Amino acid sequence: MKLSELPHRTAATVESVDDHAPNDSIARRLRELGFVNGERVEVMAAGPVSAEPLLVQIGFTRFALRRSEAARVRVQANGSGKHVNGFDADRTEGGQA
């Protein structure tokens, strides 16, 4: 699934970033920002006009991404989607924060 398709407030794990050309500067920048295999990511909100931009959290950092940029990031949705203080409850010890 693409990050741009992920429902809001659903935890996911980054699988890859798609390159559209050799030396793709946007894909490289996304990786530099932390969109790398295994990182936890979540779409927190979307803008008011055409749902642009997306507010995306990776780790403890939030970024505003265009939908076209988010569509380059491949993710795997995590389990139940339950959250405690912005984190997936299933990933904390005993399911409690």
Does a structural domain hold residue 93?
no
Indicate which CATH number applies to the domain containing 34. Answer: 2.30.30.90
CA angle at 36 for the pair 23 and 43, rounded to the nearest 5°: 110
| 36-85 pLDDT per residue, tens | 999 999 999 999 988 999 999 998 999 999 999 999 999 999 975 544 44
Of the candidates 65, 26, 19, 24, the one whose C-alpha atom is nearest the C-alpha of residue 42 is 65
Is residue 86's pLDDT more than 90?
Answer: no
* pLDDT the model gives residue 89: 46
Does a structural domain hold residue 90?
no
Does a structural domain hold residue 64?
yes
Does a structural domain hold residue 96?
no
| 1-42 pLDDT per residue, tens | 999 999 999 999 999 999 999 999 999 999 999 999 999 999
End-to-end CA distance of the chain: 28
Cα four-point dihedral sign 16, 61, 79, 48? negative
